[in-house]
């Protein structure tokens, strides 16, 4: 019996195999054109054909995140580059800002790497505010700050421009930003904001299958990494740069992802960056308006994410049952993450999803809730 013959939530056997459309906040829906591009015949990763592909992909990523900084490619998920970012940049002490499960993860990663660090936390659903950042940086204890732009577990989008402005007031404090669930879906002008490391995996805003990640690294972050010890090998920015200068990766990369990225970049530029960012805003507005009708939004007002809406279950419905019923109709959304299970559910509107997909999903949820009431 294949995975698709089983209800993922109840384990019940289905008569027809069912591949649900993904409205979960990663991996998100992948268009057929991308899947097809991944199947291209491989080239050797020391060949000129590879270097051409590498340059095309790196230059495209730079345009999407508005940077002239170097861009590194990682055959790993974003967590690999979250680890790389702190291992390469912290000389003294790191301040990890926490507003949910993934920002907490970055603190755990920092600690697990044996790096001196402290965390500063707000309640789930709240955003990190610039004043809080200012107060901490003023202590002079920190040389690196980590922040998650879009906290996927709570549907909060932190005010990254205002926070970056504060960080830039302090010399020698590096700003590391997890853009895992916002990159390529929300406009973030990396160079204007002075972001030193901006990172993401590709299974969210980029709309690709999982297994690959990208990051930009500023000159000062790169120089810092030249002085920092114990960075290991796989994620040492110095090693990555040596190969990047030859338009190569240090080790064998996931070529299928590079083909997919090239294909996706072409699609993104065909759509137009502004149109892409606007599409995400429109989908988010639609989902928020729908959620406010019968439920509530979990994110603090004014800080709601443009890529994932975390809905507070004020109606008290059985979320597990709703997810299971939706899956039978071939739609997959997510329950609450960790401690928010039962209390919230999440609808992703990122990557290649269109407003028409969202309309279809919302009708299916409405219909399911009516059926559950009957
Ligand atoms: N950061 C955020 C905001 C995320 O949403 C996720 C995954 O959902 C991660 C980090 C971890 O990413 P990955 O699973 O690609 O390592």
Element (H, E) at 113: none
Dihedral pair phi/psi, residue 231, rounded to 5°? -95, 0
Give residue 102 CA to ligand 1 midpoint distance, Å: 6
Instruction: Report the nearest atom of ligand 1 relative to the CA of 153.
Output: 5
Burial 226-250 (b: 16+ CB within 10 A, else e): eebeebeeebbbebbbebbeebbbb
The Cα 204–Cα 334 span in angstroms is: 14
Structure tokens at 230: 């114990």
**132-162: per-residue pLDDT in tens?**
999 999 999 999 999 999 999 999 999 999 9
What local confidence, expressed as pLDDT, does residue 364 receive?
Answer: 97
Give residue 304 CA to ligand 1 midpoint distance, Å: 18
Question: Is 180 near ligand 1, meaning CB less than 6 Å away?
Answer: yes
Residue 340 has a CB neighbour count (10 Å cut-off) of 22
Q: Identify whether the C-beta of residue 344 lies closer than 8 Å to the C-beta of residue 320.
A: no
Give residue 179 CA to ligand 1 midpoint distance, Å: 9
The Cα 237–Cα 341 span in angstroms is: 38
SS3 call for 175: strand
Question: Is 83 near ligand 1, meaning CB less than 6 Å away?
Answer: no
Helix axes 78-89, 219-227, angle to 10 degrees: 70
What local confidence, expressed as pLDDT, does residue 257 receive?
Answer: 98
Residue 237 to residues 58, 249, 318, Cα–Cα distance (Å)? 16, 11, 47
**34-93: per-residue pLDDT in tens?**
999 999 999 999 999 999 999 999 999 999 999 999 999 999 999 999 999 999 999 999
Question: Is 152 near ligand 1, meaning CB less than 6 Å away?
Answer: yes
What local confidence, expressed as pLDDT, does residue 374 receive?
Answer: 85
Q: Whose alpha carbon is nearest atom 12 of ligand 1?
A: 78
* DSSP structure class, residue 20: P
Question: Mutate which of 73, 151, 180, 198 to test ligand 1's pocket (most atoms within 8 Å of Cβ)?
Answer: 180
Question: Is 181 near ligand 1, meaning CB less than 6 Å away?
Answer: yes
Q: Whose alpha carbon is nearest atom 5 of ligand 1?
A: 152
DSSP bridge pairs for 22: 332
SS3 call for 5: helix
The Cα 18–Cα 12 span in angstroms is: 12
Structure tokens at 273: 């960056």
> Alpha helices, DSSP H only, in the chain?
32-38, 48-65, 78-89, 101-112, 130-137, 160-167, 190-193, 219-227, 237-244, 255-271, 273-294, 319-328, 355-373
Question: Is 84 near ligand 1, meaning CB less than 6 Å away?
Answer: no
* DSSP structure class, residue 302: T
Question: Is 89 near ligand 1, meaning CB less than 6 Å away?
Answer: no
Question: Is 148 near ligand 1, meaning CB less than 6 Å away?
Answer: yes
Residues of the chain with pLDDT under 70: 1-18
Residue 143 has a CB neighbour count (10 Å cut-off) of 18
Closest by Cα among 360, 367, 366 to 21:
360
Residue 107 has a CB neighbour count (10 Å cut-off) of 21
Question: Is 101 near ligand 1, meaning CB less than 6 Å away?
Answer: no
Residue 288 to residues 25, 155, 304, Cα–Cα distance (Å)? 16, 11, 9
What local confidence, expressed as pLDDT, does residue 1 receive?
Answer: 44
């Amino acid at each position: 019996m294949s995975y698709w013959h089983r209800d993922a939530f109840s384990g019940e056997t289905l008569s027809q195999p069912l591949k649900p459309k993904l409205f979960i906040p990663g991996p998100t829906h992948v268009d057929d054109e991308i899947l097809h591009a991944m199947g291209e015949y491989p080239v050797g990763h020391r060949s000129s054909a590879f270097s051409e592909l590498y340059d095309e992909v790196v230059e495209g990523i730079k345009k999407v995140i508005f940077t002239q900084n170097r861009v590194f490619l990682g055959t790993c998920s974003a967590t690999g580059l979250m680890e790389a970012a702190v291992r390469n940049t912290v000389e003294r002490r790191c301040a990890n800002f926490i507003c949910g499960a993934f920002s907490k993860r970055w603190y755990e990663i920092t600690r697990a790497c044996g790096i001196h660090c402290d965390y500063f936390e707000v309640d789930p659903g709240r955003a990190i505010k610039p004043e809080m950042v200012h107060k901490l940086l003023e202590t002079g204890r920190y040389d690196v700050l980590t922040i998650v732009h879009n906290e996927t577990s709570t549907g909060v989008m932190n005010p990254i421009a205002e926070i970056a402005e504060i960080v830039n007031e302090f010399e020698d404090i590096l700003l590391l930003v997890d853009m895992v669930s916002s990159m390529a879906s929300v406009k973030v002008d990396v160079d204007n904001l002075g972001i030193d490391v901006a990172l993401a995996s590709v299974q969210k805003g980029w709309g690709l299958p999982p297994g690959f990640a990208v990051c930009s690294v500023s000159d000062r972050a790169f120089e810092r990494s030249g002085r920092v010890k114990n960075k290991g090998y796989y994620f040492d920015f110095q090693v990555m740069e040596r190969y990047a200068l030859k338009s190569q990766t240090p080790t064998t990369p996931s070529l299928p992802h590079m083909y997919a990225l090239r294909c996706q970049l072409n699609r993104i530029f065909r759509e137009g960056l502004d149109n892409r960012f606007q599409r995400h805003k429109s989908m988010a507005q639609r989902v928020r308006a729908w959620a406010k009708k019968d439920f509530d939004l979990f994110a603090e007002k004014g800080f709601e994410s443009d890529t994932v809406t975390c809905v507070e279950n004020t109606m008290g419905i059985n979320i597990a049952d709703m997810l299971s019923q939706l899956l039978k109709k071939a739609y997959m959304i997510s329950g609450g993450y960790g401690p928010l299970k039962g209390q919230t559910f999440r609808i992703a509107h990122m990557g290649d999803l269109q407003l028409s997909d969202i309309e279809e999903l919302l009708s299916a949820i409405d219909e399911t809730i009516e059926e559950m009431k009957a």
